[in-house]
Amino acid sequence: MRILVVEDDDAIAEPLVDGLRREGFGVERAATGSAALAAAAADVVLLDLRLPDMDGLDVCRALRERSAVPIIVVTARGEESDRVVGLELGADDYVVKPFGLRELIARIRAVTRRASTREQAYEPLRVGALIVDERARRARLEECELELTPKEFDLLAALAREPGAAVSRRRLLEDVWETTWYGSSKTIDVHVASLRRKLGDPAWIETVRGVGFRIRAA
């Protein structure tokens, strides 16, 4: 397994790289965000958020836009807002410094197991002319790429998994926003409205009164 460690602090990066290599991992280190984006493909990315040339969250977003590689954010920024933003941008896990090597390795193995399971069972979602590729996080309609935000993509995928079926607001909140707080449901309407515009036809996503939404079946 090849791991990309994105960390600018030598005092943290060097023992981490040495420890991972002792455990049998192949490791490459990048000290900047630009170096991380230019690095060869890895099986897992360990990503610090405080980098000298760019915000680690921007690196996370860029990596996720082009790849489904598991990303574990490893940072001293432990505020809830940072964790939420990182996960919304596509990070698979979040570890706050200081951390133990054993814990980190357990998390690496957990995210790679999940990624392997997704890979084995994976097929893009297809609803008529709409293709939603969850692995690459890309959506196309009649061969035209849709420019979606991370949450718009997650919402579209949640609906496209069950074409023609009504998906409740509560379930969308749980699956897409990872919350059960119903007071957040207005954000669903905002994202649905944006999706309808980008799909070019409001009929793609139907409102099911008193329940939620459904994507029209082909």
What is the full per-residue pLDDT of the chain (218 aa) written as tens digits? 899 999 999 999 999 999 999 999 999 999 999 999 999 989 999 999 889 999 988 999 899 888 888 999 887 765 666 667 667 777 888 888 888 898 899 889 888 887 766 655 567 899 999 999 887 888 999 989 999 998 999 999 999 999 999 999 988 888 888 766 655 668 899 999 999 999 999 999 999 999 999 999 86
Is residue 160 a contact partner of residue 140, using CB atoms and an 8 Å limit? no
**Using CA atoms, how far apart are residues 177 and 184, in angstroms rounded to an integer?**
9
Is residue 206 a contact partner of residue 163, using CB atoms and an 8 Å limit? no
Helix (H, G, I), strand (E, B) or coil at 43: coil
Sheet order of strands, 71-75 included:
26-30, 2-6, 44-47, 71-75, 93-96
- pTM beyond 0.75, yes or no: no
Specify the pLDDT at position 21: 94
Beta bridge partners of 72: 46, 93
54, 55, 188, 212 from 51: Cα distances, Å: 6, 6, 33, 41
Q: Do domains 2-120 and 125-215 have the same CATH topology?
A: no
Specify the pLDDT at position 66: 83
Specify the pLDDT at position 97: 82
Fold observed for domain 125-215: Arc Repressor Mutant, subunit A (1.10.10)
- What Rg value do the Cα atoms of the chain yield, rounded? 19
Assigned CATH class of 2-120: alpha beta
45, 130, 192 from 189: Cα distances, Å: 34, 21, 5
Per the omega criterion (within 30 degrees of 0), is the bond before 52 cis?
A: no
Give domain limits for the chain.
Answer: 2-120, 125-215
1, 42, 81, 87, 125 from 212: Cα distances, Å: 42, 39, 28, 24, 20
Is residue 44 a contact partner of residue 1, using CB atoms and an 8 Å limit? yes
